[in-house]
Amino acid sequence: MIVSLVGLRGSGKSAVGRRLAERLDFDFVDGDEEIERVAGRSVAEIFAESGEPGFRQIEREVVVGLLERDRLVLASGGGAILDERTRADLRRSGPVCWLRASPETLAARVVSDESTGDRRPRLAGTGVLEEMKELSSTRAPLYADAATIEVETEGRTIAEVAEELYSLVVADVAEGGGE
């Protein structure tokens, strides 16, 4: 079984995913880090050299490979759900958990995360808050389509979100939804 975390940049997928994997005694993979490892370049470099279509192709290949594993928590890239096949593949592999927060909270988290600026490209030609509002609006239906579990991260600690996800994932699997 794979537990996939989806949501926009800043939603907490990596931080929560590490904690959830530890709680489940699963491996953890950050999708963007795996893409960088496989490609030998940063996400920003891939975008600069190959554009978004080139990046999305690499992302698709990496996700498909990761979904062949078992006992894995996958923090997918924020845009992995743009591909309909990927959304379906994630659902077939196990619970898909959408981590949600307001655009304002996401923007504040992104701005305070020093690691994100150099490694990840801006996806809109606007400020961070405007980008988060735009992406929230366009991607929310896709996250909703992919998700079997939704969790609000607004005003909550990583530990609180991970513990709620743990309970929901265990309940989902017990009901037969996770496999």
pLDDT tens for 92-148 read: 999 999 999 999 999 998 888 765 555 555 555 568 899 899 999 999 999 999 999
Rounded (10°) angle between helices 84-93 and 128-146:
60
Which of helix, strand or coil describes residue 90? helix
Q: What confidence score (pLDDT) does residue 81 get?
A: 95
3 state DSSP class of 70:
coil
Distance CA 63, CA 48 (A): 21
Model confidence pLDDT, tens digit, residues 7-62: 999 999 999 999 999 999 999 999 999 999 999 999 999 999 999 999 999 999 99
pLDDT at 113: 72
Give the model's pLDDT for residue 120: 53
**Rounded distance between C-alpha atoms, residue 77 and residue 75, angstroms:** 7
Q: How far is CA 171 from the centre of its chain?
A: 21
If pLDDT is split at 50, 70 and 90, which confidence band does 86 have?
very high
CATH number of the domain at 2-170, out of 2.40.50.140, 3.40.50.10140, 3.40.50.300, 3.40.50.2300? 3.40.50.300
Distance CA 56, CA 121 (A): 13
Residues in a beta bridge with 4: 74, 96
* pLDDT score of 179: 47
Torsion of CA 88, 177, 101, 80, to 10 degrees: -20
Length of the chain as a residue count: 179
Please tell me the predicted confidence (pLDDT) of residue 174: 65
Residue type, 149: I
CB 179 within 8 A of CB 173: yes
In this structure, the dihedral spanned by the alpha carbons of residues 46, 145, 70 and 119, taken in order and rounded to 10 degrees, is 20
Instruction: Give the DSSP H or E segment for 5.
Output: strand 2-6
